[in-house]
Structure 1
Amino acid sequence: MSAPESSRARGVDRVIGIFKQLHIARRPLTMRELIETTGAPRSSVYELVTILAEAGWLETAADGSVFFGREMHYYGADYAMHNDLISRAHQTILGLVRKYDETAQLCMLEGDKYTVVLSENSARPFNITSDIGVKVPIPWTATGRLLLGHLTDEDVHALIPDEDYLLDDGRRIAFDDFMRDVRHAAAQGYCCTEGLSMSFRLCMAAPVRDRTGLPIAALCFMTARDTDPNKRAAMLDDLIASAKSLSQPLMRT
């Protein structure tokens, strides 16, 4: 790689770094914070922020803090409209939230973590939510158990970092217990977990499958553990049916 090409590559890496840090923070960051978190030279960060702000990718506030600009919203909307699964899942999720007044999500794996791709909250004052795009350890979730069923024990062991089996309350999930849950979820075609990442939370997930039958995403409900059993049963039935409906166009040959 020539010197100019190397310089351009570093510039692209630094732009990506700025975007990642803003996403992780989920709030405007000062220039000092961007410099510290990206590790990029001060002059480069100032230059890139200026260029990106002129393009509308970033916006700077009166106090000098930086956040995503309006153009980024447009690009995200374009992606959601172009991606058939995202577009259809959004309408499905809206329907589930309207029917049950519970938080519904579309979730996927991203590398060795789990992330929420779409989320709609209930209208109740109390609701349970996870931030879109934030990476969460796979063993903390029902989705994680549901989307690993096609992998061997060795594959899963190599995929998930050892520290990710430690829950935020200090409890540790044994690997054998986790794999037992994974196999059970694959056999029954859905997964429900209670009190993992939050002691009061119940998560139920149903798989969205590709044309080969492999689960590529999960449709999820997030609710409280004390939700009425009859309502829980109805929610799970609708969740499974909705996930199958989302899978059908993807499974056409």
Structure 2
Amino acid sequence: MAATESSRARGVDRVIDILRKLHHAQRPMTMRELIEATGSPRSSIYELVAILTEVGWLETSADGSVFFGREMHYYGSDYATHNDLISRAHQSILALVRKYDETTQLCMLEGNKYSVVLSENSARPFNISSDIGVRVPIPWTATGRLLLGHMNADAIRTLIPADDFVLDNGVCIDFDEFMRDVQNAKALGYCCTEGLSNAFRLCMAAPVRDRAGIPIAALCFMTGRDTDPERRQSMLDDLLQSAQALSHR
């Protein structure tokens, strides 16, 4: 009995691993890529992919590559519709994009990283965006600094891996400087960063708070550093107002 339960648990773990690998890849993967990425036996991956394809969780293209199926879209749509914060935040984001034509996002912590939960992109040719659900190092953006204001330095040092303080351009962020940014964001009630993970990017983040006043998410604008100062202030004012409206009172 225990052996059977253990085998079933491994099967569930492998299903989760397949779905996560496809999400991280952000593209269809061949069976060989899935087998190598998961490290699972070839026969198990083929069997699980066949089962998941049959129920619509996965779809297999003519060339044999595998990606998410239509059924997964339905589940995601259900979650977005019935999660109160996500549903209301989506409407706020749409309104901000309509007004400013700038990429607008809702971001949240996910373990020791942060991820974009919702994103609506600007229609302009030069567009700054991040993929939904991709886990990003916390120190790389304004959002990360804003969401850690309730934590002390020791807790933050324990939470964030040392490698995450190195930007993708090789520049290392000093921990003490990062902590000053975190405390400054807490005092101001918002955070703005320029040229951090992208030399041309300006990121504005405003906190969405729970009933205890702790930031549980951030509403963000992603725009260019050449944005006019007057327009910046107007964007920030509306961002703060929208984030406050999404917060528990």
Calculate the TM-score normalised by the size of structure 2.
Answer: 0.99
The Cα shift of 1:143 comes to 0.6
Query: Structure 2 counterpart of 1:65, which letter?
Result: S
5+ unaligned residues in a row in structure 1: which ranges? Answer: none
The Cα shift of 1:125 comes to 1.0
SS of the aligned residue for 1:64 comes to coil
Separation in 1, partners of 2:90, 2:242: 12
**Equivalence map 1:96-135=2 (5 Å):** 96-135=96-135
Asked if residue 219 in structure 1 is aligned to residue 223 in structure 2, the reply is no
Separation in 2, partners of 1:177, 1:75: 41
**Equivalence map 1:187-206=2 (5 Å):** 187-206=187-206
Q: What residue in structure 2 maps to residue 170 of structure 1?
A: 170
Asked if residue 152 in structure 1 is aligned to residue 152 in structure 2, the reply is yes
Query: Structure 1 counterpart of 2:212, which letter?
Result: T
Q: Percent identity over the alignment?
A: 76
The Cα shift of 1:161 comes to 0.5
Q: What residue in structure 2 maps to residue 246 of structure 1?
A: 246
SS of the aligned residue for 1:217 comes to strand
Separation in 2, partners of 1:25, 1:59: 15
Separation in 1, partners of 2:176, 2:7: 47
Q: How many residues align?
A: 249
The one-character-per-residue Cα deviations of 1:40-86 (angstroms, maximum 9, x if unpaired) are 10000000000000000000001111000000000000001110000
Asked if residue 208 in structure 1 is aligned to residue 199 in structure 2, the reply is no
Separation in 2, partners of 1:105, 1:136: 14
SS of the aligned residue for 2:124 comes to coil
Separation in 2, partners of 1:171, 1:45: 39
Structure 1 stretches of 4+ moved >2 Å: none
Asked if residue 61 in structure 1 is aligned to residue 95 in structure 2, the reply is no
Separation in 2, partners of 1:13, 1:228: 50
Q: What residue in structure 2 maps to residue 23 of structure 1?
A: 23
Separation in 2, partners of 1:172, 1:66: 37
The Cα shift of 1:170 comes to 1.1
The one-character-per-residue Cα deviations of 1:191-214 (angstroms, maximum 9, x if unpaired) are 000011101000000000001110
Separation in 2, partners of 1:144, 1:63: 40
5+ unaligned residues in a row in structure 2: which ranges? Answer: none
Separation in 1, partners of 2:126, 2:21: 29
Separation in 1, partners of 2:126, 2:154: 40
Separation in 2, partners of 1:135, 1:233: 29
SS of the aligned residue for 2:37 comes to helix
Separation in 1, partners of 2:114, 2:46: 33
SS of the aligned residue for 1:24 comes to helix
Query: Structure 2 counterpart of 1:125, which letter?
Result: P
**Equivalence map 1:35-114=2 (5 Å):** 35-114=35-114
Asked if residue 229 in structure 1 is aligned to residue 229 in structure 2, the reply is yes
SS of the aligned residue for 1:240 comes to helix
The one-character-per-residue Cα deviations of 1:201-235 (angstroms, maximum 9, x if unpaired) are 00000000001110000000000000111111100
The Cα shift of 1:14 comes to 0.3
